[in-house]
Amino acid sequence: MVVGKMKLTFQKRVKLAQYLWMLSWFATLGGAVTFTLGCFLKTELRRRGEVMDNTDIHCVPNTLMIVGLASMGINYFASRICQDALDPGRFPRWKTFLKPFFGCSVFFTTLMLISVILSYAMKGSLETSLKIGLKNGIRFYKDTDTPGRCFQKQTIDRLQMEFQCCGNSNYRDWFEVQWISNRYLDFSSKEVKDRIKSNVDGRYLIDGVPFSCCNPSSPRPCIQYRITNNTAHYNYEHQTEELNLFIRGCREALVYYYMGLMNTIGAVVLSVFLLQCSVLASVRLLQTSMEAVAGQENVEVDSEGYLLEKGVKETFMEYVDPVLKLLWMNQVTPPEAKAEAGAS
Contacts of range 95-101, beta carbons closer than 8 Å, 24 or more positions apart: 95/291, 98/287, 101/74, 101/77
Can you give the three-state secondary structure of 269-335, one letter per residue? HHHHHHHHHHHHHHHHHHHHHHHHCCCCCCCCCCEEECCECCCHHHHHHHHHHHHHHHHHHHHCCCH
Calculate the CA 100 to chain-centre distance. 28
Average confidence (pLDDT) over 69-97: 79
Q: For residue 333, is pLDDT > 80?
A: no
Q: Please calculate the CA angle 299-301-302 and round it to the nearest 5 degrees.
A: 130
Residue type at position 93: R
> Looking at residue 72, what is its pLDDT?
94
Calculate the CA 85 to chain-centre distance. 37
Residue 261 makes CB contacts below 8 A (sequence gap 6+) with 41, 44
pLDDT tens profile 138-190: 999 998 888 888 889 999 999 999 999 999 999 999 999 999 988 888 888 88
pTM as predicted = 0.80
pLDDT tens profile 256-299: 999 999 999 999 999 999 999 998 888 888 777 777 666 666 66
pLDDT tens profile 32-52: 999 999 999 999 999 998 999
> Looking at residue 341, what is its pLDDT?
47
> Looking at residue 306, what is its pLDDT?
67
Asked whether the beta carbons of 103 and 74 are under 8 A apart, the reply is no
CA atoms of 317 and 274, how far apart (whole Å): 24
> Looking at residue 324, what is its pLDDT?
63
Calculate the CA 209 to chain-centre distance. 33
* Mean pLDDT, rounded, of the chain: 83
> Looking at residue 54, what is its pLDDT?
84
CA atoms of 137 and 149, how far apart (whole Å): 9
> Looking at residue 338, what is its pLDDT?
46
At residue 344 the predicted structure's pLDDT band, cuts being 50, 70 and 90, is very low
Indicate the helix (H) or strand (E) that contains 183: none
Specify which residues 8 forms β-bridges with. Answer: 303
